[in-house]
Structure 1
Amino acid sequence: MIWNSAICKPLSAVAERLSFRAAAAQLFISQPALSRRIDKVEGVLKVRLLERNSRRVTVTEAGRQFLEHARASIAEMQVALGTISAAAAHRSTVVTVACVPSVANHVLPDALQVFSAQFPDVRLRVLDESGTQVVQSVLRSEADFGVNFIGVQDADLDFKAIYTEPYVLALQRGHPLAGQRTVSWSALRGSRLIAVSARSSNRILLDNALARLEERPVVFCEVNHVTAALALADAGVGVTAVPALAYSALRYPSLVTVPLVEPEVKRTLGLIARKGTVLSAPAQALYELLASAAAKGFAFR
């Protein structure tokens, strides 16, 4: 038997009023129905909780102990339910999205401006992280969903592809390769190539794509993030291969980009969520906004 308020209330009402008639009236049930409930509890416990005769009702010592523990358990359950309800309300008013930095820098600003106009009372939390960290944030439920280019093979994630972008060469306008329509990877021999760390998901993707080249470009400078690679290229330290979405003419005015070929390397961005996850209404709206905008080249207006 599950000890809940439906069981405790009849006993508590009789104990407080010391009258089956008054307790039944308080509970809006008949006296026989109330007696049956008390009898059922006593039958399960195999102990008398109430002593009653034609003139009076008294609570036994076992009855007092039972009521004390039952009321404490119900109070704890009410606290737990209140905590869960508060957490659910909090989740419905906060949307957390995890994404790689190129998305955080060049997609989310416009996306969140549109979203906030539709949901002005919803607070936002952005986890701009590496591809691997984005996956972990979603798997650990730290984010409602993520925007990433890895995760498609994870059995615990749903990956919805929304946008495919090429890797381009970012270099200063005066560089000898800046005027080319395309640049082959082999043409980068002799150039000062700035690359992201070998632990980066971007670097792993590029290394896998270039594994068959007889001669691969030599890395001159290694950094942890694409933004740092672009900043160094903008300063004239060297050239760098980055996802097209990472480049911004406004942020890096001295740089231009040229498509890289032989081989052409691309990455596919997707919306990732834990399998079976039901997003809150605001989170689902942001999810659909990003998917819709990606189909138009991340145009939000």
Structure 2
Amino acid sequence: MNRIDLEFGDLQAFVAVAEGLSFRAAAAQLFISQPALSRRIDKLEGVLKVRLLERTSRRVSLTEAGRQFLEHARAAIAEMQVALGALSAAAAKRSTVVTVACVPSVANYVLPVALEAFSARFPEVRLRVLDESGAQVVQSVVRAEADFGVNFIGVQEAELDFKAIYTEGYVLALQRSHPLARGKTVKWKDLCGSRLISVSARSSNRVLLDNALARLEQRPAVFCEVNHVTAALALADAGVGVTAVPALAYSKVRYPSLVTVPLVEPEVRRTLGLITRKGAALSAPAQAMYDLLESAARSGFDFP
């Protein structure tokens, strides 16, 4: 099939002239000069290799080919307007919804305050949170299901960027009356005699801890295993045992009977970061949310 080099502006020019049968009126309608309009018509006729308009000093009329082509030109312009309208609607929808994928501890203890601050600034923007495992957060960003992600797994995918924003240590959450609650720190080996509540081996938190404690001669045994940090804290709050959690996961308001003590020897830390698709531009609201989290991290997530 031979390539036909038609431009949208040329079609608009022809339709404007054909409907008004006036070069002067069409030029005014399109906000261009009459010579520029004539060049567009000449170009269109040259591409089509057929005369569309009969022009004299007094009048303009359509040829038979022009009358036939007019209907096709109108249909093409209408289709293009529908397509542009659909794209504009989709862009507007994307700009009014911000989707953030994040690990559960961030969803439970960081995002609620962040979203409140964001909504105060952007009350018209709807928010969607995908609270998932670290690996699922990565995939949600890769598949463009989320505008960006908040994760503590260093991203190795070539198509993603990882921007570190906050580093936190692991703490022992336990009842105030527990003997280990009196120290300024707790060594991992000192947990060997305690009932340790841990997240499952499928959790990114568990993988990080297992790797960090692999060289210890004495490793604490898991007494109770759960799927999420929130469940581990709830059981510790009920007095079932003690649990090691990222510092951000603990909330004095939610778990009033618990205290936290930093865990050492080894000191295990994780780095939270914002992950985005490489080269992808965020919508204005999504960028504002991204910037809010990055700024808040510098002050330890002490939101205004």
Alignment pair present for 1:245 and 2:261 = no
Q: Does 1:149 align with 2:130?
A: no
Q: Distance in 1 between matches of 2:39 and 2:287?
A: 50
The answer to whether the aligner puts 1:162 opposite 2:151 as a matched pair is: no
| Superimposed CA distance per residue, residues 12-56 of structure 1 (whole angstroms, 9 cap, x where no aligned partner) | 345445x5xx24533347877656544433332334545778988
Could you tell which deviates more after superposition, 173-182 or 35-44? 35-44
What SS class does the counterpart of residue 120 from structure 1 fall into? coil
Is the 8 Å Cα contact of residues 13 and 26 (structure 2) preserved in structure 1?
no
Backbone CA RMSD of aligned residues = 2.8
2:30 equivalent to 1:26? no
Q: TM-score, normalised by structure 2?
A: 0.84
Trace 1:1-301 onto structure 2 (pairs within 5 A).
1-16=4-19, 19=21, 22-28=22-28, 37-49=40-52, 57-60=61-64, 62-301=65-304
Output the amino acid matched with 1:12. V
Aligned partners of 1:177 and 1:96: how far apart in 2?
A: 41
Identity of aligned residues (%): 77
**Could you tell me whether the CA contact under 8 Å between 2:152 and 2:271 is conserved in 1?**
yes
Alignment check: 8 A CA contact 1:4 1:74 kept:
no
Task: Give 1:247 deviation, angstroms.
Answer: 0.9
Tell me which moved more, 178-187 or 218-227: 178-187
TM-score in terms of structure 1 length:
0.85
Q: Distance in 2 between matches of 1:30 and 1:133?
A: 57
Report the more deviating stretch, 156-165 or 109-118. 109-118
Which stretch has the larger CA shift, 77-86 or 66-75?
A: 66-75
SS in 2 for 1:214: coil
Q: Which deviates more from structure 2 when the two are superposed, residues 115-124 or residues 200-209?
A: 115-124
Q: Distance in 2 between matches of 1:292 and 1:16?
A: 57
Q: Is the 8 A contact 1:24 1:34 kept in 2?
A: no
| Superposed CA offset, 1:193-249 (max 9, x none) | 222122211111112212222343222322211111111222222221110110112
Runs of at least 5 residues in structure 2 that lack an aligned partner in the other structure = none
Q: Distance in 1 between matches of 2:279 and 2:34?
A: 48
- Using the alignment, how far apart are the partners of 2:97 and 2:19 within structure 1? 45
Gap change, CA 1:128 and 1:46, over 3 Å in 2 = same
| Code of the aligned partner of 2:43 | K
1:125-176 deviations in Å (ceiling 9; x for gaps): 2222222222222222232222211144332222222211111112223333
- Give the aligned length: 297
Corresponding letter in the other structure for 1:59: T
